[in-house]
A and B are shown apart, each in its own frame.
Chain A
Amino acid sequence: MKSNKYSRYREITGLLAGVAVLFVFMSFAAEGFFGWYNLHNVLKDLLILMVVASGMTLVILLGKIDMSAGSVMSLASIVTTLLLSYGINIVFALLGGLLAGAIIGLLNGYLVGVLNLNHFVATFATMSIAKGLALVACNGDIISSDSDVLLFIGTGKIFGLFFIVWFSAILLIIMFFLSTKTKFGYKIYSIGGSEQVARLSGIKTANVYLVTYVIAGVLAAVGGIFMAGKANSGNATIGDGYEFSVIATVLIGGTPFEGGKGGLLGTLIGAMFLAILKNGLSMLGFTPAWQYALIGLAILIAIVGDVSINERRKAEEKRRVGL
């Protein structure tokens, strides 16, 4: 009979095939899509998305969600550029941005893991809090930065590749390792599979929630700083709605809301899919307004497909179990 690993493998290859089809289609249909300059930019967008989505993947693997990711991006960009505008050293400014993400993450983890509040409601609240703080801090203005370092983070290149690409690649390798090879990752899968069983097996669930949400917060902050770097300015609306792209990426990648299943590899492919689609659509001349609608449609198709496959598999399993 099918083992868990096997069906996951099939799912991944299916997703990859979808990405390949989309890529070939866009290469032929969209003028200017297939070219180093454009693809390099697609890669950059993809990796920014992926950095935030990798944190979100861990949260969703736990069976929870983090609605505050987009707001944390905005907050981190504002905190960093604001600190720079006060003449604070770039290193501390960046740390400040990351710290803001960590604090919101810690708050999320505390509300969800320790106080056992509903994860959706709690992070919905912190989403608003983070956004509000960002707006208050910048007074609604765009805060421009004159830091070369920040600009380099957003647009600079090393050996012909964007700094973002190098940095994200390293970050992602660490995240892959964390989620698949460590005790911590193992515990995430246990809790996502069944929090009750995990707790009764002596796993300290509250700690895992706290750490995971902090990781998600910090990674969202990294994404926010990347965004700030691209424009070399901070903006309280920079991450508006970004959490939806991120959640969509995770779902398309085959990590369901119930948690315990899926993983970062799927999310990476989901990110490829979304980034290629977004870029290709704009190359095809669709306005951003149309892009929203079409991306929504793509998410729907991906998820409906996934759900129907899963349902069928579930029905099969049920029949087998019901022998």
Chain B
Amino acid sequence: MLVSARHAGLEFRGIRILTDTILEIRNICKSFSGVPVLEDINMSIKKGEVHVIVGENGAGKSTLMKIISGVYRKDKGELFFEGEPVQINNVQKALNVGIGIIHQEFNLLPHRTIGQNIFLGREPIKSNFLKIIDHDLICKKSKELLDYLELDIDPRTLVYNLGIAQQQMVEVAKALCFKSKVLIMDEPTATLTRKETVKLFEIIKKLRSEGVSIIYISHRLEEIKQIADTLTVLRDGRVVGDLSIENASIDQIIRMMVGREIKDQYERQYHLHGEEVLRTENLGAKRFSNVNISLHRGEIVGLSGLVGAGRTEIAKTIFGEDAIEKGSVYIYGKKYQRMSTQKATRLRIGLVPEDRKEEGAIMEMPIRHNIVHAVLPRLFKSAVISRKTELSVAKKYMEELGIRAPSVNKLVKLLSGGNQQKVVIAKWVCADCEILIFDEPTRGIDVGAKAEIYGIMSELVERGKAILMISSDLPELIGMCDRIYTIKDGMVTAEFSRTEATQEKILAACV
């Protein structure tokens, strides 16, 4: 209904399309091996607007963006750019038309300079005969672009030496260099700190004021309010609604995304805590020092801080992946000055790492392997493995954690982010861990699966487990934790109880 009404409106105001709309998407359909992924998508992007597209994983956002940017071909439908129908068959074509995309994973060569990356594949040459690359020109032009982006870095710096936020700016510079009129950003803030996000938003606003249209994909609903002009919600490959941002509430957006009501995301019951299971005493290592934190049974304790503050390092040191340099860790009251991942797992500590693709699960292996491979010594008394036990154990935990997959033989890489994360958690639940460390457990996971992960965490503490949780998502941290420590530059700066914690207080202690 919504779609057709809007579409008719556009037809009616035919002239406005030409002047105002830069990219018009009409009746786009796409299916993969017979499975429809996009059905009849209609959308129009206006000149100089930030158009946010939201939707759960699998809603079709990425596929749509890949069609617009020439990675995939559409099955049906039309694209109009500045009122003219265009055929976008490949990435080069899209760039020439004026559509640039910044993927979630950057396409940069780490061992080349910023300038070389920006001009990759179309380096200016000095003379036509010898094809000598004009490095000075590259340098000069790159510098201009970087200045425009308010980035004070020498364009001769190797990309390797840049932080994530800076690398992203290089990607933006690359797109600008093509004079893109439409810039697609796929989850640009997923790996940025709050400060860097603010900076990125400034740049986006600057681009917008100069007439560049931004298509912005995000999972972080809080930031949408800050940045969006218009909003399109996708669900199951269809547009379920277009909203202008003034009259959209976050609750409404969530409702549209999941198609059902999510009551309270953070359902926790608070009990008196049990005995202390983990304590650090003046713990110090590479990126942090003098850390004193404690964790009790039945408790979720949060570590808040900016990316790079040392939270992940603290977690990895407790888990034995990084070496303890100073101080000690007390586990169930016993003092340890050296840890290893083997010792940690024997002591029933589990780590759900930040980077689930590299560190959490083996992507190329089936679910069953990923669930049981950390518990081999406990599961099988002798050296021999019983397939029957393996299967039944894997099935049991797959059900218990609600991993949605056709069978335990399914490769983990074929699952959605939320289900992958559940596999990682299942590994440690299967290992009957008493202490669980969750590092950014809901990053890149859609709203529905987030609520499920919170549910799992709540149930674990109900059963008397203890959870140490690292997150950059403050509402989630405040919603889930009994206590929160704030970390800044490798030091604990404050501790808040559930009742004291507010976003403002925590932020103030983090920056």
Q: Which residues of A contact B (CB under 8 A)?
A: 1, 3-5, 181-187, 189-190, 193-194, 196-204, 260-261, 316-317, 319-323
CA distance A322 to B384 in the complex (A): 38
Expressed in whole angstroms, the minimum distance between the Cβ of B38 and any Cβ of chain A is: 9
CA distance A260 to B373 in the complex (A): 13
Task: Please name 16 pairs of A and B residues whose Cβ atoms are closer than 8 Å in the assembled complex, sorted by A.
Answer: A1-B414, A3-B409, A5-B409, A181-B384, A181-B385, A182-B383, A183-B384, A196-B358, A197-B361, A199-B321, A200-B321, A201-B427, A202-B346, A317-B413, A320-B32, A320-B414
Partner of A194, one of B32, B346, B358: B358
Expressed in whole angstroms, the minimum distance between the Cβ of A175 and any Cβ of chain B is: 14
Expressed in whole angstroms, the minimum distance between the Cβ of A307 and any Cβ of chain B is: 16
CA distance A190 to B37 in the complex (A): 33
CA distance A321 to B351 in the complex (A): 26
In the assembled complex, which residues on chain B have CB atoms less than 8 Å from the CB atom of A199? Answer: 321, 341
In the assembled complex, which residues on chain B have CB atoms less than 8 Å from the CB atom of A196? Answer: 358-359
In the assembled complex, which residues on chain A have CB atoms less than 8 Å from the CB atom of B363? Answer: 193-194
In the assembled complex, which residues on chain B have CB atoms less than 8 Å from the CB atom of A193? Answer: 362-365, 369
B187-229 contact mask (Cβ, 8 Å, vs A): 1 or 0: 0000000000000000000000000000000000000000000
Q: Which residues of B contact A (CB under 8 A)?
A: 32-33, 35, 37, 58, 60, 62-63, 66, 72, 319, 321, 341-342, 344-346, 351, 353, 358-366, 369, 373-374, 376-377, 380, 383-385, 406-407, 409-411, 413-414, 427
CA distance A202 to B428 in the complex (A): 11
Partner of B373, one of A1, A3, A187, A319: A187
CA distance A260 to B370 in the complex (A): 12
In the assembled complex, which residues on chain B have CB atoms less than 8 Å from the CB atom of A184? Answer: 383
- 14 additional contacts (CB under 8 A) given A200-B319, A200-B341, A202-B341: A3-B411, A4-B365, A5-B409, A187-B376, A189-B369, A197-B359, A197-B361, A198-B373, A201-B345, A201-B373, A317-B414, A320-B414, A322-B63, A323-B60
Q: In the complex, what residue of chain A is closest to B346 when comparing beta carbons?
A: A202
Please determine whether A183 and B345 come into contact, CB atoms closer than 8 angstroms. no
**A181-B385, A322-B63 known; A260-B374 Cβ under 8 A:** no
In the assembled complex, which residues on chain A have CB atoms less than 8 Å from the CB atom of B345? Answer: 201-202
Please determine whether A4 and B409 come into contact, CB atoms closer than 8 angstroms. yes
Expressed in whole angstroms, the minimum distance between the Cβ of B84 and any Cβ of chain A is: 28
CA distance A25 to B35 in the complex (A): 43
Expressed in whole angstroms, the minimum distance between the Cβ of A314 and any Cβ of chain B is: 10
CA distance A22 to B62 in the complex (A): 46
Please determine whether B341 and A183 come into contact, CB atoms closer than 8 angstroms. no
Count contacts between A and B, CB distance < 8 Å.
Answer: 105
CA distance A69 to B206 in the complex (A): 62
In the assembled complex, which residues on chain A have CB atoms less than 8 Å from the CB atom of B341? Answer: 199-202
Partner of B362, one of A1, A194, A321: A194
In the assembled complex, which residues on chain B have CB atoms less than 8 Å from the CB atom of A322? Answer: 62-63, 66
CA distance A201 to B315 in the complex (A): 14
CA distance A321 to B63 in the complex (A): 10
Please determine whether B414 and A182 come into contact, CB atoms closer than 8 angstroms. no
Q: In the complex, what residue of chain A is closest to B412 when comparing beta carbons?
A: A193
**A189-B365, A200-B321, A200-B351 known; A319-B32 Cβ under 8 A:** yes
Q: In the complex, what residue of chain B is closest to A182 when comparing beta carbons?
A: B383
CA distance A193 to B374 in the complex (A): 14
**A189-B369, A190-B369, A320-B32 known; A183-B385 Cβ under 8 A:** yes
Expressed in whole angstroms, the minimum distance between the Cβ of B368 and any Cβ of chain A is: 10
Please determine whether A197 and B58 come into contact, CB atoms closer than 8 angstroms. no
- Give the interface centre of A193, A204, A320 by most chain B CB atoms within 10 Å: A193
In the assembled complex, which residues on chain A have CB atoms less than 8 Å from the CB atom of B409? Answer: 3-5
Expressed in whole angstroms, the minimum distance between the Cβ of B397 and any Cβ of chain A is: 14
CA distance A183 to B361 in the complex (A): 18
Please determine whether B360 and A197 come into contact, CB atoms closer than 8 angstroms. yes
CA distance A196 to B33 in the complex (A): 34
Please determine whether A204 and B342 come into contact, CB atoms closer than 8 angstroms. yes
CA distance A4 to B370 in the complex (A): 13
Q: In the complex, what residue of chain A is closest to B383 when comparing beta carbons?
A: A182
CA distance A4 to B358 in the complex (A): 20
In the assembled complex, which residues on chain A have CB atoms less than 8 Å from the CB atom of B374? Answer: 201-203
Q: In the complex, what residue of chain B is closest to A183 when comparing beta carbons?
A: B376
- Give the interface centre of B319, B353, B362, B380 by most chain A CB atoms within 10 Å: B362
Please determine whether B353 and A200 come into contact, CB atoms closer than 8 angstroms. yes
**A194-B358, A197-B362 known; A183-B413 Cβ under 8 A:** no
In the assembled complex, which residues on chain A have CB atoms less than 8 Å from the CB atom of B63? Answer: 322-323
Please determine whether A4 and B32 come into contact, CB atoms closer than 8 angstroms. no
In the assembled complex, which residues on chain B have CB atoms less than 8 Å from the CB atom of A190? Answer: 362, 365, 369, 373
Q: In the complex, what residue of chain A is closest to B35 when comparing beta carbons?
A: A323
In the assembled complex, which residues on chain B have CB atoms less than 8 Å from the CB atom of A316? Answer: 33
CA distance A213 to B18 in the complex (A): 69
Q: In the complex, what residue of chain B is closest to A319 when comparing beta carbons?
A: B32
CA distance A4 to B409 in the complex (A): 7
Q: In the complex, what residue of chain B is closest to A184 when comparing beta carbons?
A: B383
Q: In the complex, what residue of chain A is closest to B370 when comparing beta carbons?
A: A197
Expressed in whole angstroms, the minimum distance between the Cβ of A35 and any Cβ of chain B is: 41
CA distance A204 to B376 in the complex (A): 12
CA distance A184 to B383 in the complex (A): 7
CA distance A170 to B154 in the complex (A): 65
CA distance A199 to B384 in the complex (A): 21
Partner of A200, one of B35, B359, B384, B411: B359
Expressed in whole angstroms, the minimum distance between the Cβ of B406 and any Cβ of chain A is: 7
CA distance A269 to B250 in the complex (A): 59
CA distance A181 to B389 in the complex (A): 12
Expressed in whole angstroms, the minimum distance between the Cβ of A263 and any Cβ of chain B is: 13
CA distance A322 to B35 in the complex (A): 13
CA distance A193 to B353 in the complex (A): 17
CA distance A252 to B32 in the complex (A): 31
CA distance A105 to B242 in the complex (A): 65
In the assembled complex, which residues on chain B have CB atoms less than 8 Å from the CB atom of A319? Answer: 32, 72
In the assembled complex, which residues on chain A have CB atoms less than 8 Å from the CB atom of B361? Answer: 197
CA distance A322 to B359 in the complex (A): 21
CA distance A4 to B406 in the complex (A): 13
Q: In the complex, what residue of chain A is closest to B65 when comparing beta carbons?
A: A322
CA distance A321 to B369 in the complex (A): 20
In the assembled complex, which residues on chain B have CB atoms less than 8 Å from the CB atom of A260? Answer: 362, 364-365
Please determine whether A323 and B58 come into contact, CB atoms closer than 8 angstroms. yes
- Give the interface centre of A5, A200, A260, A319 by most chain B CB atoms within 10 Å: A200
Expressed in whole angstroms, the minimum distance between the Cβ of B247 and any Cβ of chain A is: 31
In the assembled complex, which residues on chain B have CB atoms less than 8 Å from the CB atom of A323? Answer: 32, 35, 37, 58, 60, 62-63
CA distance A258 to B60 in the complex (A): 31
Q: In the complex, what residue of chain A is closest to B377 when comparing beta carbons?
A: A183
Please determine whether A3 and B359 come into contact, CB atoms closer than 8 angstroms. no
CA distance A322 to B33 in the complex (A): 13
Please determine whether A4 and B366 come into contact, CB atoms closer than 8 angstroms. yes
Expressed in whole angstroms, the minimum distance between the Cβ of A1 and any Cβ of chain B is: 7
- Give the interface centre of B62, B353, B380, B414 by most chain A CB atoms within 10 Å: B414
In the assembled complex, which residues on chain A have CB atoms less than 8 Å from the CB atom of B411? Answer: 3-4
In the assembled complex, which residues on chain B have CB atoms less than 8 Å from the CB atom of A203? Answer: 342, 373-374
In the assembled complex, which residues on chain B have CB atoms less than 8 Å from the CB atom of A185? Answer: 385
In the assembled complex, which residues on chain A have CB atoms less than 8 Å from the CB atom of B427? Answer: 201
Expressed in whole angstroms, the minimum distance between the Cβ of A185 and any Cβ of chain B is: 8
